[in-house]
Structure 1
Amino acid sequence: MKNLALLIFTFLSVTAHAQLAQDSNVLLVFEKQIDQPDADEMEVINLLEHYLSDKTSLNITADKDDVDYILQLSVVKKGLGNRRGKLVVVDPVSTDVIFESKWILGTRNMFYGLSGERHAIARLVSGKLVSEYPEVKK
């Protein structure tokens, strides 16, 4: 009986949690990391915007009043063009973390134009965000 109650509580807490949906309005924010060399803020935000518009149905907005979720991107340098990236989805009303990826390594390779940033962001969007929320995939 105790396990059944725990299972029901877990299910209700997961379903009550806010979820990304098709055509959600998102605000892109770069999150700086303390004691780590960050990648170029504008470059990685532009890359994230490009990947989100190509791979997802999310609407990118700059209006803080018309936002359903905040996507916080962190990208740090890891030597020789490699980058580590992390993506966090936050509910702007409650400031609860909806989704948080692990740190993902992006390497310089020919498929991504020798850009560790592009590779890390592509892995975050396609490999983590879209796999966690398949309903946002185009």
Structure 2
Amino acid sequence: MADPIIKIGSKGPAVKNAQKALNNRGAWLTVDGIFGSLTRNAVIDYQTYRSSGQYWALSYPLKVDGIVGPATWSRLTPPVIKKKSTGNAVRLLQEILKDFAYPPFDPGVVDGKFGPQTESAVKEFQDWWPLTVDGIVGQETWAALWS
């Protein structure tokens, strides 16, 4: 089931998930499940830094609207990915790792395919952060990467 669109006035577990993910990326929200003005402002800040023309937009810029819809969810809570995964989340991971410009984190070609070089780059990043070194990009690794 896809995450619901949440905005001012929304309440519940999806709001808590968004608040936790925003906190993992530098916000200072009370995780109360209530989408009020502080949560909206944190969403706007998050979206602004990842909007078109901004450094962190990469190839997945966000619209700045204060609403957590599909595009914002995909950056804020990307899926768990690992070796043999393919798609946009892998491409985002590869772009972020390549952006470090640090050879051990280089995933190789940004092609959306989670192969051996991407796995090696993830493990190097996880060891450096430090995270569990398993080559699997779950929520902790995504948060450390500031997706």
TM-score category of the 2 structures, normalised to the smaller one: under 0.3
Task: Please give the TM-score of this superposition, normalised by the length of structure 1.
Answer: 0.27
Higher helix share: 2
Over alpha carbons, which structure has the higher Rg?
1
Q: Considering Cα pairs closer than 8 Å and 6+ residues apart, tell me whether 1 or 2 has the greater RCO.
A: 1
Higher strand share: 1
